[in-house]
Amino acid sequence: MTPPRAARVATPVLVLSGLLAATGCSALSTPPTAPKPPITRPSSAPPPSPKASPAASSALTEAMAQAALVTDADLGEPWTPAQGVATWHDGVLKAKADRRGCQRLLDALYADELFGADAQPRAVVGMDDEWNQAQMRYQVLARPPAEIDRTLAWLRSLPRTCAQFAATTITGAALGVQVTDLPLPEAGDDRQGLRVLLTGQSQDGEPTTLTLDVAALRVGDDAISVTNGGFGDVLTDATQAAVQLGAERLTEVRRRGRVQV
């Protein structure tokens, strides 16, 4: 049961204002969810490395990526640790676009790999919005800055090149896809946000829309990606809060790593 509006409280990052009553999820007919990479919890701080060389300290480490994650503890209510991967990852995002140039977007969203599968190290955490049945996945990863910038340029082009297109899921369900810009805070060195709407029909023939907030940013030599989606209300202010806090945290983790040299 959705808690009353009066019970909703301010998060440690910002006040998640304007919450609507949670709506029930209406999923497309889908097969069982395919396994995803394990979701890990961050450590409280990167381990000290007093003997690290300047060359070694310039690279993002696994421990640093873990320490830079934003979690449900940062966002506060209604966010909790994810209980598995949302069914719409397979049921909706595993689809064939009718335009070749837009297939890359669906593939990247399905795999949760906006910056490519070979980005390492990579730390990932998942969070569920229990009020609105949405799920957020937050990643910190290493990638050459030039490649990060190329990915951001590609994402920036999508509201123009893939503003509207059609897709078909693996079960044969027809989707209409709309891609628009998503405003993001002035966080990190460069950033791009998208709102992706995938509209189809439920098993009962009722219209249903999966809403996805997508955010990608470069912070120095590293990258952050955020996806926040669901069939109900998707809180863009939570996406924006994760981006803002995440950029600040990654910058601080990097600074502490340099100080330890």
Looking at residue 125, its amino acid is V
Q: For residue 19, what are the CA distances in angstroms to 23, 68, 131? A: 11, 27, 9
pLDDT score for 258: 62
Residue 153 lies in a domain: yes
Does residue 194 surpass a pLDDT of 70?
yes
Q: Specify the CATH number for the domain of residue 121.
A: 3.40.1000.70
Specify the 3-state DSSP secondary structure of 259.
helix
Residue-averaged pLDDT of the chain = 82
pLDDT digits over 229-260, tens only?
Answer: 999 999 999 999 999 999 999 999 999 876 45
pLDDT score for 260: 52
Token output for 253:
């983790």
Residue 162 lies in a domain: yes
Better-predicted residue by pLDDT, 16 or 220: 220
Does residue 22 surpass a pLDDT of 80?
no
Percent share of the chain, pLDDT over 70: 77
Residue 194 lies in a domain: yes
Q: How far apart are CA 150 and CA 233, in angstroms?
A: 31
User: Rounded to 5 degrees, what are φ and ψ at 47?
Assistant: -65, 145
Residue 108 lies in a domain: yes
Residue 28 lies in a domain: no
Residue 169 lies in a domain: yes
For 196, the domain range is 51-259
Specify the 3-state DSSP secondary structure of 195.
strand
Token output for 27:
């999923």
The count of structural domains within the chain is: 1
pLDDT band for position 55 (cuts 50, 70, 90)? very low
Other C-beta atoms closer than 10 Å to the C-beta of 1 total: 5
Of residues 15, 233, 240, 242, the one with CA closest to residue 130 = 233
Residue 43 lies in a domain: no
